[in-house]
Amino acid sequence: MTDGLRVLTMNLLAPQKGDYERRRPLLAEGLRRLRPDVAAFQETVWGDGTDQAVELLGPGYQLARHSGRAADGVGACLASRWPLGTVRELGLQVTERTGSFVWGAALAVEVMAPPPLGPFLFVHHKPNWQYGYERERELQAVAAARFVEELVAGRDRQVVLAGDFDDPPDAASIRFWTGRQSLDGTSVCYEDAWTVAHPGEAGHTFSPRNPLVTAGEMVLERGRRIDYVMARCGVHGPRLDVAGCELAFDQAAGGVWASDHFGVVADLRLPRRPPGAWA
């Protein structure tokens, strides 16, 4: 039986970059130490007899993958310790200039967790990353949120949302996800685990203090929090409590950094009693 779960989102940085042979042991050791129940990975590769996520996680996980991959094999996937049920995907090629980002998608997977948590919906959201593409990220957020609402269809089902959203907390797309504004006549509310655990703290997950960031394509990056774990709220507020939320892989080991992103790991649990009724 379980009334909680550990959720991780992590952009692994494609193995073609950043001296992966030195980074790989850090990622493998860290993932096996963290032991997430479910995880969302961006910039991962598979094929030709190899599967990066499987190799890093070790045994005991089931995977579901975004169907699109870049020409160099880079894509996204999610992993679960528990069996997977129905898998559904929504492509997020919402305008002409998003068409080339083929692995941009919302992947929604039914995770068959044991009671009392029970089956829940785990959604891996990956919008476009480019500066100046806020309109696209807004459209992608609305499309993904509507997709989830159709899947839930009024059922009493927990929904956990995670990924590299490529927007800071004050951007319209994140304000939309967290219930602080509507977009295109649609409103939803998801609780951001980091904000609950660390109110007022920046929590940058893409930071120039990491030399892999400034060595990359965004040489003047100033630092942003762009990676999130969130839980869908009901009309009476959060339906999962945040027991903790921390950055992962945010320190070097022997001068080596695991990725250009820091991960986010959140521990979520059922509340003492269901929201919506007096004690």
Q: Is the pLDDT of residue 186 over 70?
A: yes
Radius of gyration of the chain (CA): 18
Q: Measured on CA atoms in the order 101, 208, 131, 8, is the torsion positive or negative? A: positive
What is the rounded average pLDDT of the residues 37-54?
93
Classify domain 4-269 by CATH number: 3.60.10.10
Residue type, position 87, single letter = V
Question: How far apart are the C-alpha atoms of 25 and 74, rounded to whole Å?
Answer: 20
Comparison of pLDDT for 68 and 277, the residue scoring more: 68
Is the model's pLDDT at 268 over the cut of 80?
yes
- The C-alpha angle with vertex 20 and arms to 19 and 23, in degrees rounded to 5, equals 100
Instruction: Report the pLDDT value the prediction gives residue 130, as an integer from 0 to 100.
Output: 97
pTM: 0.97
Predicted pLDDT of residue 1: 63
Please write the tens of the pLDDT for every residue from 138-169. Answer: 999 999 999 999 999 978 889 999 999 999 99
- What confidence tier does 50 reach under pLDDT thresholds 50, 70, 90? confident
CB atoms within 10 A of CB 256: 14
Q: What is the pLDDT of residues 94-130, one digit of tens each?
A: 999 999 999 999 999 999 999 999 999 999 999 999 9
**Residues whose CB falls within 8 Å of the CB of residue 36, separated by 6 or more in sequence, listed in order:** 6, 7, 8, 79, 81, 265
Average pLDDT over residues 124-137: 98
Query: ∠ CA(235), CA(140), CA(6), 5° rounding?
Result: 60
Burial of 4 (0-12, 13-18, 19+ CB in 10 A): middle
